[in-house]
Each structure stands twice: as structure tokens, then as C-alpha cells.
Amino acid sequence: MIRALKTKIPARKKAEPATALESAAVQSQPVVQPRSGPSVAVALGGGGARGIAHIHALSALDELGIRPVAVSGTSIGALIGAGYAAGMSGADLAAYFRKTLGNRAEVMARLIRMRPRAFFGSFKEGLRPGRIDLEAVLDVFLPEGLPATFEALNLPLMTVATDYYGQRATVSRSGALKPAIAGSAAIPALFHPVFHHGRILVDGGITNPVPFDLVEGLADITLAIDVVGGPSGPPDRMPSTIDTLFGASQLMMQAIIAEKLKAHKPDIFLRPDVDAWRVMDFLKVREILEKTAPFKDEVKRAVDQAFTRKIKS
């Protein structure tokens, strides 16, 4: 039986760089000289597997010596944001995603480790829409050592979910971390809703796909990354039922983002080219990381320009 990779998040120590476990050996990330200048807050949007591109944005900040003062995230943005706020670097996150999702045998080994009740509760009726218990999945896929609460993170984190019966976005910034992430990422077509803080939660992308409004005013510069994308393909190709469902939700989310941008645009708003991948293409993590790699330099250029504008103003 394949031994699952155990990646530990470093203990909360302000003076030490992030570390990660590659197989059994601890490898320390190189220390980058902190960059002086304007402060930065980051908003990571939802988009399923397309959100793997967020890792390049975080790596760009690491290489520039910029440590954000706050992070907000929706869906996959909440998950990646939690890892980053816990002390993982962009390089740590890339390595962890490659090890856990870039190997089908590793994925199956982790699924088998799910609690029997949760596993069979997810799959006993087949892989049907809305039947998968996302909290149980996160139990075996989140990095080992991820803090149990928001308060134990190294950076302030805000995650967005949709309050199903409240008919509005709801923000988590304190208390239990895992159910907040699960609620933020509970795509209705795939995952069972999450009960948290007395509310039924579903995917945050329904109400706030790129939550840059949550970090406005917390830093000199707001960096927002939109990975929602949209339907892609030949104009005469009839989409499948599931592609139609996801594509329609992407169009809805883009309409929400467009209205938000009319009201107020963040200092930096970037959209990596991610339309080639479907929402659930997580097993293509290596391909996504490789083909979206140029996005890291795009982020660096945009941040440098924003710093220049801010310093001159």
C-alpha cells in the first residue's frame, strides 16, 4: 500500500521561514529579504482546479519579499489562502499539490483513508451530485498540521461562503477553520452543504467570487486574482449536462464580478488564462502549474507598477 505523503506546516514562529516535508526530509525555504514599501492584502477567488494558478501569485510575492498583511478567499481561494496564512510558501503549496493530486495512486490512497462512515456516506449511492462529504475529503487532503482555528494562523484570513437560507454571503474570520473552508468550497453540484455556526453553507462563489472587498482598507495595495474563467470550446460543440451547469455558474459569477468592479476596482486585478481546464481537473495539477507559470511574472510586473504608483502618489 502506498504510504501517503505527510506534509507538515511549520509551527507559528515569526522569525523562521516556512518549511515543508518533501517525503520524509524537512527542506527549509530560502529566506527572502523583506521588501520595504506599501503593504499588500490579497484576495483569492473561486474556480475549482483553475485556482491552482493562485499558487504562482503567492510565489511571486514570496520572491519579491512581500508578506501580505491579510488574505481573503472564496472556495479554492479559501483553501489555498488557509495554507498560505498558516505559513506555507508558494513553493510549499506547489510541492504539496503536486505530491497529493499529481499522482492518481496517492489520491486513491488518501480517499481510502477517509473514515468508513464518511467514505461510504459519500459513495454508497454512487458519485451522484451533492453526495460527496467535503469535510471528510478535507480530513485526508489538507496538509498535516494545518491549524484548527483562524486564531492560530500566522496571517489574518477571511473565507466566504453562501448562507443558503439566509440568501447572502457570510464571512468567517474566527473559530474552526476546516468547516469554514468546506463551506466556502461546497459546490452544490458536487458536495453536500456544510452546517457551520448555525447556518447551511454552500459555495461562496455564488455570492462573492473574488472577495477583494473584504480586504479593502487593510493595506496600501489590494491584489485580487480572478480564476473563475468561463465556458471554453468550439462554438458548435454541445456541452455536457455537467459542463452546462458549471459554465452557467461561471457566467453568473463573472456578471457579479463585473458589477463589483463597476463599484470599486482593486489596485491590482488579474485574470490568469485558465479557461482550458474544467472546475474539477485537479488531477491535471502538474499541467496547470506548468502552463500557468508565466502568470508569476505577470504578478511581479503588476505589483512593481502598483508600488511605483503608490510611492509617487
- Kindly report the three-state secondary structure assignment for every residue of the chain: CCCCCCCECCCCCCCCCCEEEECCEEEECCCCCCCCCCCEEEEECCCHHHHHHHHHHHHHHHHHCCCCCEEEEECHHHHHHHHHHCCCCHHHHHHHHHHHHCCHHHHHHHHHCCCHHHHHHHHCCCCCCCCECHHHHHHHHCCECCCCEHHHCCCCEEEEEEECCCCEEEEECCCECHHHHHHHHCCCCCECCEEECCEEEEEHHHCCCCCHHHCCCCCCEEEEECCCCCCCCCCCCCCCHHHHHHHHHHHHHHHHHHHHHHHCCCCEEECCCCCCCCCCCHHHHHHHHHHCCCHHHHHHHHHHHHHHHHHHC
Of 163, 203, 213, 267, catalytic: 203
264, three cell numbers: 470599486
Active site residue 72: no
105 is written with which cell numbers? Answer: 495512486
229 sits in the region (left: phi over 0; alpha: psi -120 to 50; else beta) called left
The one catalytic residue among 59, 75, 172, 184? 75
Closest CA to 233 of 241, 222, 243: 243
Cα separation, 121 vs 261, in Å, equals 41
- The grid coordinates listed for 99 are 505530491
Partner residues linked to 70 by β-bridges: 41
Catalytic status, residue 297: no
Active site residues: 75, 203
